[in-house]
Amino acid sequence: MEGFGVHTSMWTMNWDRAGAERTIPAAAEYNMDFIEIALLNAPAVDAPHTKALLKKHNLRAVCSLGLPQKNWASVNPEGASAHLIQAMDVAAAMGAEALSGVTYGGIGERTGVPPTETEYDNIARALCAAAKHAKKLGIAFGIEPVNRYENHLVNTGWQAKWLIEKVGADNIFIHLDTYHMNIEEKGAGNGILDARDYLRYIHLSESDRGTPGEGTCDWDEIFATLAAIGFKGGLAMESFINMMPELAYGLAVWRPVAESFEEVMGNGLPFLRNKAKQYRLI
* Residue in 144, 150, 185, 206 annotated catalytic: 144
| Near its own copies by CB under 8 A: residue from 203, 208, 264, 272 | 208
Q: CA-CA distance, 191 to 159, in Å (whole number)? A: 10
The span from the CA of 179 to the CA of 146, in Å, is 9
Of residues 65, 98, 188, 241, which one binds its own copies by CB under 8 A? Answer: 188
Report the site for its own copies in 152-171 (rule: CB under 8 A): 152, 155
Q: Is 144 a catalytic residue?
A: yes
Residue 248 lies near its own copies (rule: CB under 8 A): yes
Tell me the backbone φ, ψ of residue 153, rounded to 5 degrees: -95, -50
Work out whether 280 is an interface residue with its own copies (CB under 8 A). yes
In our burial notation (b when 16+ CB lie closer than 10 A, e otherwise), range 151-165 reads bbbbbbbbbbbebbe
The nearest distance, CB 32 to its own copies, in angstroms, is 19
Tell me how far, at minimum, the Cβ of 182 lies from its own copies, in Å: 5
Of 151, 55, 5, 119, the closest CA to residue 127 belongs to: 119
Q: At what angle do helices 47-56 and 77-94 cross, to 10 degrees?
A: 40
Binding site for its own copies (CB under 8 A): 110, 112-115, 147-150, 152, 155, 181-190, 192-193, 196, 207-208, 210, 213-218, 220-221, 223-225, 227-229, 245, 248-249, 252-255, 267, 270-271, 274-275, 278-280
